[in-house]
A = this chain, B = another copy of it.
Amino acid sequence: MSLPSAPPLSTTPTLLTPGPVPLHPEVQAALALDMIHHRTPEFDAILARVLRQLSRVFETQQPVMALSSTGSGGMEALLVNTLSPGDLVLSVDSGKFGERWAEMAKNFGARVETLKVDWGHAVKVGEVAGFLKQNPETKAVLCQACETSTGTLHPIRELGELIHHTEALFLVDGITAVGALPLPMDQWHIDGLVGGSQKAFMLPTGMSFVSLSKKAWQAQKRARMPRFYFDLQKELAANQKGETYFSSNVTLIRALDISLRWILDQCGLQEHLLSIERRAVFTRRYAHEMGLQIFTQAPSNSLTAIRVPEGIDGQALRLRLEEKYRVTVMGGQDQLKGKVLRIGHMGYLPWHNLQKFFDALPQAISELSPQWRSPRDLDSLRLEMQGFTHHA
Contacts and interface: CB of A to CB of B under 8 A. Distances in A.
Interface stretch (A35-43, A49-57, A138-146, A306-314): A35-43
A198 B69 contact: no
Contact of A36 (B12, B107, B206, B229): B12
A98 to B, nearest CB: 14
A68 B15 contact: no
A108 interface: yes
Contacts of A151: none
A68 B328 CA distance: 23
A155 interface: no
Given A72-B229, A73-B69, A104-B228, A15 B32 contact: no
Contacts of A230: 229
Contacts of A322: 40-41
The number of times this chain is found in the oligomer is 2
A28 B198 CA distance: 19
A29 B32 contact: yes
A34 interface: yes
Contacts of A198: 35, 247
A232 interface: no
A103 B228 contact: yes
Given A21-B35, A107-B226, A68 B205 contact: yes
A68 B109 contact: no
Interface string A59-78: 00000000011111100100
Contacts of A231: 107
A332 to B, nearest CB: 12
Contact of A69 (B20, B37, B229): B229
Contact of A20 (B31, B246, B247): B247
A69 B68 contact: yes
Contact of A250 (B34, B205, B247): B205
Interface residues of A, number: 57
Contacts of A207: 206
A36 B328 contact: yes
A361 B314 CA distance: 64
A22 B37 contact: no
A183 interface: no
A174 interface: no
Interface string A1-22: 0000000000011010101111
B20 A38 contact: yes
Contacts of A72: 228-229, 246-247
A71 B249 CA distance: 11
A336 interface: no
B204 A250 contact: yes
A239 interface: no
A34 B20 CA distance: 11
B35 A32 contact: no
A41 to B, nearest CB: 8
B107 A76 contact: no
Given A68-B70, A107-B226, A229-B76, A34 B23 contact: yes
A227 interface: yes
A114 interface: no
Given A36-B328, A41-B322, 18 more contacts: A12-B34, A22-B34, A28-B33, A28-B34, A31-B251, A32-B32, A38-B205, A68-B73, A71-B247, A72-B229, A73-B73, A73-B229, A103-B228, A107-B228, A108-B228, A204-B252, A206-B207, A206-B252
